[in-house]
Structure 1
Amino acid sequence: MTPQTDITTLEDIKLLVDTFYSKVQKDEFIGPIFNKKIGDRWPEHLEKMYRFWQTILLEVHSYSGSPFPPHKQLPVAKEHFDRWMEIFTQTTDTLFTGPLADEAKYRAKNMAEMFNYKIDYFRNLEKNQTNNS
């Protein structure tokens, strides 16, 4: 499938999010982590992701909240974020081409790097507090 258009509508975002998370759920490396954390709340999670990406890419302010806290305690490392990014990039490149598709990949990369950094920071902080107790 050759991507023909850029991300321009909420329907495009839903296609990206649904396709991406369908792959994530089946992925042997990161799928079990997501499936355990989200459980039977996938529809709720996907709705939140639609609003998040709609706000980021289409400047329709439908998402509010802080995306990091739910991820803070996940048992993940850089390799997990690398795999997440690999699936996201592959999905985006398969479905879309253009400036907003590039922006989605750029934002996803920055988010993955920031989440990885913050998770490491909080783990080290907790480890140091435990060692100093």
Structure 2
Amino acid sequence: MSFDPATLVYNAQGLIPAIAQDAQSGEVLMMAWMNAESVARTLDTGRVTYWSRSRQAFWVKGETSGHVQTLVEMRVDCDRDCLLLTVDQVGPACHTGRRSCFYTAIRAGEEVEILTPVAD
């Protein structure tokens, strides 16, 4: 069966959340938004392409930073309203220079930074 990005469930802005996960380690790296065109571009090129809400433009991960995400597999959740992207990540995934955007844990009611920026 052929996949059609139009079959996904998008929010009122035409976007769907996409969670990027390291294909080797299983580590959750980041969450960003995609629209039907960025889903199609990602599948066509193998380079993960998101939709930037702030810039209102396509954003190919790593295009300026060199911290590229190459798609290994795209998965659709049961409600078709969220994507899981398993990726090969070069360098940090987070714009703060950390491996993952999920670098703050809540422990005993306190915020604890559990990841530091990766040295280049």
Normalised TM-score (structure 2): 0.28
Choose between structure 1 and 2 for higher RCO, CA contacts under 8 A separated by at least 6 residues. Answer: 1
User: Which structure is higher in strand share?
Assistant: 2
User: Which structure is higher in helix share?
Assistant: 1
